[in-house]
Amino acid sequence: MTDSKYFETRFAYDAARDGVWKVISSYLSGEIKGTDAVLDLGAGYCSFINNIKAGKKYAADTYPDFKKNAAADVETYVCDSSDLGALPAGALDAVFSSNMLEHLPLEKILSTVREARRLLKSGGKLILLLPNFRYSYRTYYDDYTHVTPLTDAGVCDLLKSEGFEIKKSLPKFLPFSFKSRFPKAPFLVWLYLRLPFKPFAGQMLIVAEKP
Protein backbone atom coordinates (compact mmCIF):
# COMPACT_ATOMS: atom_id res chain seq x y z
CA MET A 1 0.00 0.00 0.00
CA THR A 2 1.74 3.17 -1.25
CA ASP A 3 -1.00 5.73 -0.57
CA SER A 4 -0.02 7.87 2.44
CA LYS A 5 -3.68 8.80 2.95
CA TYR A 6 -4.40 5.18 3.87
CA PHE A 7 -1.91 5.43 6.71
CA GLU A 8 -3.60 8.60 7.91
CA THR A 9 -7.12 7.16 7.96
CA ARG A 10 -7.72 3.41 7.95
CA PHE A 11 -4.22 2.44 9.12
CA ALA A 12 -3.31 5.38 11.34
CA TYR A 13 -0.55 4.91 13.90
CA ASP A 14 -1.74 3.58 17.26
CA ALA A 15 0.78 3.50 20.11
CA ALA A 16 -1.08 0.59 21.70
CA ARG A 17 -0.33 -1.54 18.63
CA ASP A 18 3.27 -2.10 19.69
CA GLY A 19 2.21 -3.63 23.00
CA VAL A 20 -0.22 -5.93 21.21
CA TRP A 21 2.47 -7.03 18.77
CA LYS A 22 4.94 -7.78 21.54
CA VAL A 23 2.47 -10.39 22.79
CA ILE A 24 1.65 -11.72 19.30
CA SER A 25 5.35 -11.96 18.44
CA SER A 26 6.02 -13.84 21.66
CA TYR A 27 3.21 -16.25 20.78
CA LEU A 28 4.66 -16.79 17.31
CA SER A 29 8.15 -17.38 18.68
CA GLY A 30 7.14 -21.04 18.85
CA GLU A 31 7.36 -21.02 15.04
CA ILE A 32 10.58 -18.98 14.79
CA LYS A 33 13.94 -19.72 16.44
CA GLY A 34 16.18 -16.97 17.76
CA THR A 35 18.80 -17.81 15.12
CA ASP A 36 16.41 -17.74 12.14
CA ALA A 37 16.51 -15.37 9.18
CA VAL A 38 13.05 -13.81 8.98
CA LEU A 39 11.28 -11.54 6.49
CA ASP A 40 8.26 -9.40 7.37
CA LEU A 41 6.46 -8.99 4.04
CA GLY A 42 4.21 -5.93 3.86
CA ALA A 43 5.78 -4.72 7.08
CA GLY A 44 3.93 -1.39 7.46
CA TYR A 45 4.76 -0.10 10.93
CA CYS A 46 7.24 -2.99 11.40
CA SER A 47 5.37 -4.01 14.55
CA PHE A 48 6.14 -7.71 14.06
CA ILE A 49 9.72 -7.63 12.85
CA ASN A 50 10.79 -5.11 15.51
CA ASN A 51 9.50 -7.39 18.26
CA ILE A 52 10.35 -10.91 17.08
CA LYS A 53 13.62 -12.45 18.25
CA ALA A 54 15.58 -13.64 15.22
CA GLY A 55 19.13 -13.95 13.96
CA LYS A 56 18.58 -11.85 10.83
CA LYS A 57 15.64 -9.53 10.27
CA TYR A 58 14.34 -8.23 6.95
CA ALA A 59 11.30 -6.09 6.16
CA ALA A 60 9.71 -5.25 2.82
CA ASP A 61 6.90 -2.92 1.80
CA THR A 62 5.88 -0.88 -1.22
CA TYR A 63 5.40 2.26 0.90
CA PRO A 64 8.75 4.12 0.90
CA ASP A 65 8.29 5.79 4.28
CA PHE A 66 7.87 2.47 6.07
CA LYS A 67 11.64 2.29 6.52
CA LYS A 68 11.54 4.91 9.27
CA ASN A 69 9.51 2.47 11.39
CA ALA A 70 12.16 -0.27 11.30
CA ALA A 71 14.48 -0.89 14.25
CA ALA A 72 18.22 -0.59 13.73
CA ASP A 73 18.68 -4.36 13.37
CA VAL A 74 16.14 -4.65 10.52
CA GLU A 75 17.29 -4.56 6.88
CA THR A 76 14.60 -2.90 4.75
CA TYR A 77 13.52 -3.19 1.11
CA VAL A 78 11.06 -1.00 -0.76
CA CYS A 79 9.74 -3.40 -3.38
CA ASP A 80 6.83 -5.38 -4.73
CA SER A 81 5.81 -8.41 -2.66
CA SER A 82 6.30 -10.68 -5.67
CA ASP A 83 9.83 -9.49 -6.48
CA LEU A 84 12.47 -9.55 -3.77
CA GLY A 85 15.34 -10.15 -6.13
CA ALA A 86 17.77 -8.55 -3.68
CA LEU A 87 17.47 -11.67 -1.51
CA PRO A 88 18.85 -14.97 -2.85
CA ALA A 89 16.85 -18.17 -3.10
CA GLY A 90 16.80 -20.24 0.07
CA ALA A 91 17.98 -17.34 2.24
CA LEU A 92 15.16 -17.40 4.80
CA ASP A 93 13.89 -19.62 7.58
CA ALA A 94 10.55 -17.82 7.81
CA VAL A 95 8.42 -15.36 5.86
CA PHE A 96 5.73 -13.61 7.87
CA SER A 97 2.93 -11.50 6.43
CA SER A 98 0.13 -9.78 8.29
CA ASN A 99 -2.94 -8.33 6.62
CA MET A 100 -1.40 -7.96 3.17
CA LEU A 101 -2.61 -10.66 0.78
CA GLU A 102 -6.24 -9.50 0.92
CA HIS A 103 -5.14 -6.20 -0.64
CA LEU A 104 -3.93 -7.99 -3.78
CA PRO A 105 -5.68 -9.50 -6.83
CA LEU A 106 -5.46 -13.28 -7.12
CA GLU A 107 -2.63 -13.35 -9.66
CA LYS A 108 -0.51 -11.12 -7.42
CA ILE A 109 -1.29 -13.33 -4.42
CA LEU A 110 -0.05 -16.35 -6.38
CA SER A 111 3.15 -14.62 -7.49
CA THR A 112 3.77 -13.43 -3.92
CA VAL A 113 3.38 -16.96 -2.54
CA ARG A 114 5.75 -18.26 -5.22
CA GLU A 115 8.31 -15.61 -4.33
CA ALA A 116 8.04 -16.54 -0.65
CA ARG A 117 8.62 -20.18 -1.56
CA ARG A 118 11.70 -19.23 -3.58
CA LEU A 119 13.15 -17.34 -0.64
CA LEU A 120 12.54 -20.07 1.93
CA LYS A 121 14.95 -22.85 2.78
CA SER A 122 13.69 -26.42 2.80
CA GLY A 123 11.77 -26.68 6.06
CA GLY A 124 11.20 -22.92 6.09
CA LYS A 125 7.84 -21.53 7.14
CA LEU A 126 5.35 -19.14 5.57
CA ILE A 127 3.29 -17.59 8.38
CA LEU A 128 0.15 -15.71 7.35
CA LEU A 129 -2.11 -13.60 9.53
CA LEU A 130 -5.06 -12.17 7.62
CA PRO A 131 -8.81 -11.56 7.71
CA ASN A 132 -10.97 -14.66 7.32
CA PHE A 133 -13.87 -13.75 5.06
CA ARG A 134 -15.83 -16.66 6.55
CA TYR A 135 -16.12 -14.75 9.84
CA SER A 136 -15.63 -11.12 8.77
CA TYR A 137 -17.80 -10.79 5.67
CA ARG A 138 -20.01 -8.10 7.22
CA THR A 139 -17.13 -5.68 7.72
CA TYR A 140 -14.55 -7.03 5.25
CA TYR A 141 -14.96 -4.19 2.78
CA ASP A 142 -15.06 -1.49 5.43
CA ASP A 143 -11.40 -1.37 4.49
CA TYR A 144 -11.76 0.14 1.04
CA THR A 145 -8.43 -1.31 -0.12
CA HIS A 146 -9.45 -4.95 0.35
CA VAL A 147 -9.52 -6.68 -3.03
CA THR A 148 -9.73 -10.47 -2.64
CA PRO A 149 -11.93 -12.29 -0.10
CA LEU A 150 -9.98 -15.14 1.48
CA THR A 151 -10.99 -17.96 3.83
CA ASP A 152 -8.95 -20.45 5.82
CA ALA A 153 -9.97 -23.31 3.50
CA GLY A 154 -9.18 -21.29 0.39
CA VAL A 155 -5.77 -20.12 1.60
CA CYS A 156 -4.78 -23.64 2.67
CA ASP A 157 -5.78 -25.04 -0.73
CA LEU A 158 -3.86 -22.27 -2.51
CA LEU A 159 -0.72 -22.94 -0.47
CA LYS A 160 -0.93 -26.69 -1.04
CA SER A 161 -1.31 -26.10 -4.79
CA GLU A 162 1.96 -24.13 -4.66
CA GLY A 163 3.88 -26.93 -2.97
CA PHE A 164 3.52 -26.02 0.70
CA GLU A 165 2.51 -28.34 3.52
CA ILE A 166 0.00 -26.94 6.03
CA LYS A 167 1.33 -27.22 9.58
CA LYS A 168 -1.25 -25.09 11.39
CA SER A 169 -4.59 -23.54 10.47
CA LEU A 170 -6.44 -21.46 13.07
CA PRO A 171 -9.60 -20.08 11.41
CA LYS A 172 -10.24 -17.82 14.42
CA PHE A 173 -7.10 -16.20 15.81
CA LEU A 174 -7.66 -12.48 16.42
CA PRO A 175 -10.47 -9.94 16.04
CA PHE A 176 -10.88 -8.50 12.56
CA SER A 177 -9.35 -5.09 13.21
CA PHE A 178 -7.53 -2.97 15.77
CA LYS A 179 -10.46 -0.60 15.30
CA SER A 180 -12.68 -3.20 16.98
CA ARG A 181 -13.24 -3.50 20.71
CA PHE A 182 -10.29 -5.86 20.89
CA PRO A 183 -8.61 -5.56 24.34
CA LYS A 184 -5.20 -3.96 23.87
CA ALA A 185 -3.74 -4.41 27.35
CA PRO A 186 -0.87 -6.90 26.90
CA PHE A 187 -2.13 -9.32 29.56
CA LEU A 188 -5.61 -9.40 28.01
CA VAL A 189 -4.11 -10.07 24.57
CA TRP A 190 -2.02 -12.88 26.08
CA LEU A 191 -5.15 -14.32 27.67
CA TYR A 192 -7.22 -13.97 24.47
CA LEU A 193 -4.69 -15.95 22.44
CA ARG A 194 -5.01 -18.84 24.87
CA LEU A 195 -8.80 -18.98 25.08
CA PRO A 196 -10.38 -22.18 23.70
CA PHE A 197 -12.96 -19.96 21.97
CA LYS A 198 -12.36 -16.58 20.36
CA PRO A 199 -15.22 -14.05 20.68
CA PHE A 200 -15.32 -11.51 17.82
CA ALA A 201 -12.47 -13.31 16.01
CA GLY A 202 -12.26 -12.43 12.33
CA GLN A 203 -8.61 -13.11 11.50
CA MET A 204 -6.95 -16.43 10.79
CA LEU A 205 -3.43 -17.74 11.28
CA ILE A 206 -1.96 -20.14 8.72
CA VAL A 207 1.48 -21.73 9.05
CA ALA A 208 2.79 -23.59 6.00
CA GLU A 209 6.14 -25.28 5.41
CA LYS A 210 8.27 -25.65 2.31
CA PRO A 211 9.25 -29.35 2.04
Closest-CA residue to 106 (of 143, 37, 175, 158): 158
pLDDT tens for each residue of the chain, 211 residues long: 445 555 455 455 556 678 889 999 999 999 999 999 999 999 999 999 999 999 999 999 999 999 999 999 999 999 999 999 999 999 999 999 999 999 999 999 999 999 999 999 999 999 999 999 999 999 999 888 999 999 999 999 999 999 999 999 999 999 877 665 666 788 888 999 999 988 889 999 999 999 9
Whole-prediction pTM value? 0.91
d(CA 90, CA 107): 23
| Domain range annotation of the chain | 4-209
How would you class 47 by CB atoms within 10 Å of its CB: exposed for 0-12, middle for 13-18, buried for 19 or more?
buried
d(CA 90, CA 172): 31
Q: Which CATH architecture has domain 4-209?
A: 3-Layer(aba) Sandwich (3.40)
As beta bridge partners, residue 76 has 59
d(CA 21, CA 35): 20
Helix (H) or strand (E) holding 186: helix 186-193
pLDDT of the residue at 171: 98
